[in-house]
Chains A and B, each alone.
Chain A
Amino acid sequence: MLDFSILTDYFDLYLQGLLNTIKISLIGLGGSFVLGTIIAVMRIAPVRIVNWIGACYVEFIRNIPLILIAFFFYNGLSAFHINLSGFTAGTIGLSIYTAAFIAEAIRAGIQSVDRGQMEAARSSGLTYIQAMKYVILPQAIKIVIPPIGNQFLNLVKNSSILGVFAGFDLMYFGDMIHEKTYVTFDTYIFVGAFYLLLTIPLSSFVRYLERRLARGY
């Protein structure tokens, strides 16, 4: 039977970890959304070299492990006399990694809008930027939201790698509680439960959005 006294005795530590994981995930979402949008626009911009840079970013980052990117920011920058905390390095790594996936989701969304829409907007005298902003993006958003929701879910789970860098997330606090209790099994079962508290509602919501948006308005 699980020892619930661990949960009650160290509830404030679990809670602190949970709140930090939420904080990291939200910062990561903001960062990766901004970066991802820039990369997506680069990938479809009418300039070949810019396309290519965007494509390289996506293909390279998507095909290497997140934890490697985080290690680069945590260990790699000290050769250049920049020392980042585990929290900062981990959050930057998460944003850079997730941005590649978000960029792909946004690009797919934009490209699923009929070509004629862009042509019509341009021939009505809108500039490329205006056509994007007022015609293409509002239509693409609907298609893009569910996959971004899924990426956010992955981001929440992936934020656990901050535990490796003393990044003050839920995993890190789990480790801290473990050092006090010397009970591994129960301590981490509760850590898992706290993650589920975040991810299960989130994944149900994403699924709801998928169904809702697939039906159209």
Chain B
Amino acid sequence: MDFSGAYSADHLIYLGKGFIVTLEVAFISIIFSFIIGSLVGTLRYADIPVLSKIMAVGVETIRNLPLLLIIFFTYFALPEVGIQLSISLATIAALTVFESAMISEIVRSGLSSIPKGQIEAARASGLTYIQTLWHIILPQGLKRMIPPLVSQFISLLKDTSLAIVISLPELLHNAKVIYNGNVNYVTPILLLTALMYFVVNYMLSLLSLALERRLDRDGKIKIAS
């Protein structure tokens, strides 16, 4: 068995390029899905008669489908109805649709976990519904949402690897291109690739822990539970 040459400079640079694509796609998708997911989650929490019901059906459908299918569908099936997206746009669109649905559920259940008495007290003190949501419910809910949100972002970062099915030049795709040339490279290259994913994701989870502790200490956002 000959592992030497697996970590040559060319290979490392190529993996690095893939890593940058992974991070870019994940970052853009996190931003989009956070915005859309928060919006949908808040609207569902607000329980607007018809709109919330329609959103519930949409969210449940998307959440219960495999992301791989959504990515595949976005890139290969949408052109049949006249929507042609580039590989990276298709990945971002598919990730955003799927993760927004997941995040909207996190936001909705985070908001729902705030006791109803808080709303009543705020409304009784003369705040409008929007003011109550913005100043009372959101700040408290946000704290409870941080751990599940961060683990969802970690999922998203890992899920970018599914775009290998549409040949997005991300980290895993590039790793596969390298090791396809030599069967002895598979293990060392996959190990290095796994470490790269691990480092970013582990740092994210540490960040989440630090953030939680910080908010726990802050008197400003303290929950009586």
Contact = CB atoms under 8 A, between A and B. Distances in A.
Given A79-B1, A157-B64, A160-B68, A66 B158 contact: yes
Interface string A173-217: 010000000011100110110011001100100000000000000
Contacts of B81: 185
A164 interface: yes
Interface in B186-205: 186-187, 190, 193-194, 197-198, 201-202, 205
Contacts of B11: none
B187 A79 contact: yes
B118 interface: no
Nearest to A75: B186
A65 B154 CA distance: 10
Contacts of B159: 65
Contacts of B67: 157
A59 interface: yes
Contact of B190 (A71, A157, A159, A192): A71
Contacts of A62: 154, 201
B193 A171 contact: no
Interface of B is mostly: helix
Interface in A144-168: 153, 157-161, 163-164
B183 A78 contact: yes
Contacts of B205: 63
Contact of A63 (B69, B76, B154, B165): B154
A71 B176 contact: yes
A64 B161 CA distance: 10
A96 B66 CA distance: 19
Contacts of A195: 64-66, 69
A171 B72 CA distance: 10
Contacts of B129: none
Given A68-B193, A79-B183, A188 B73 contact: yes
Interface string A114-151: 00000000000000000000000000000000000000
A114 B68 CA distance: 41
Contact of B186 (A76, A161, A188): A76
A52 B183 CA distance: 32
The 8 closest A-B pairs by CB, nearest first: A160-B66, A63-B201, A199-B64, A65-B161, A65-B158, A185-B77, A184-B77, A157-B66
Interface of B: 1, 60-61, 63-69, 72-73, 76-81, 154, 158-159, 161-162, 164-165, 172, 176, 179, 183-184, 186-187, 190, 193-194, 197-198, 201-202, 205
Interface of A: 59-60, 62-68, 71-72, 75-76, 78-79, 153, 157-161, 163-164, 171, 174, 183-185, 188-189, 191-192, 195-196, 199-200, 203
